[in-house]
Amino acid sequence: MKRERRFILLLACLASSPSAAKADWRAVEQVKSYTIAGQSGPELYASIGERGPKLGPTRAIAHTSFKLTWSRKYEVQGDACVLVSALPKLAITYTLPKPAMPLPVATREHWEAFIAGVHKHELVHGDFIKEMVNKIEIATVGLTVPADPQCRKIKSEMTKRLGALSNAQRQQSRDFDRAELNDGGNIHRLILDLVNGG
């Protein structure tokens, strides 16, 4: 009786464990910096405009990039192909500005508030990327494509799903940036505080 109860408890634990549904993984996150010049808020912001990460024709204050690869396991079941597991390997890099020289006390206080806010903003982009990877995992693991014994059709089906999720993540990031940079948005306020000295 005790042994039977223990077995039922073990099954209940396994069923409620999130790792039973998807693979355990963790993103590797790092911060890189680019050097800016200046000793005052306006000088530092002007230097960001000259040296910030180039995104198309414009430069950004900061940037979040990522590299994503997958270890996938396919199985042929009858004449169908099934994706039985997918383990992501995700590396996220946050690129932030860093003054070349120590700053005067008054400037340093405003700079520290500014860079802390910018870093927090970029971490949200990182969260969007991690959410996308989780959605990819949910949308693809267990995917079954009939009449695909060579596991070719399943890959084109996955490409469609991944494309839609990737586009949604990009749009989410663009919408977030727009809200934060608009008048009264968080990043807009941080810029004004830095340039105007609070």
Mind listing the pLDDT tens digit for each residue in 115-136?
999 999 999 999 999 999 999 9
Quote the distance between the C-alpha of residue 101 and its chain's center: 30
Looking at the DSSP assignment, which residues form a beta bridge with residue 50? none
The domain locations on the chain are 19-196
Is the separation of the CB atoms in 145 and 80 below 8 Å? yes
Q: What is the C-alpha separation between 38 and 47, in angstroms, rounded?
A: 7
117's tokens: 């806010």
Average pLDDT in the 70-89 region?
96
Exposure string over 114-153, b if 16+ CB within 10 A, otherwise e: bbebbeebbeebbebbbebbebbbeebbebebeebeebee
Average pLDDT over residues 166-175: 96
Residue 118, phi then psi, degrees to nearest 5: -65, -45
More confident residue, 79 or 24: 79
pTM of the shown model: 0.84
User: Alpha-carbon distance 48 to 98, whole Å?
Assistant: 9
Task: Provide the 3-class DSSP secondary structure of residue 23.
Answer: coil
β-sheet bridge partners, residue 96? 33
What confidence category does residue 22 fall into, taking pLDDT thresholds of 50, 70 and 90?
A: low
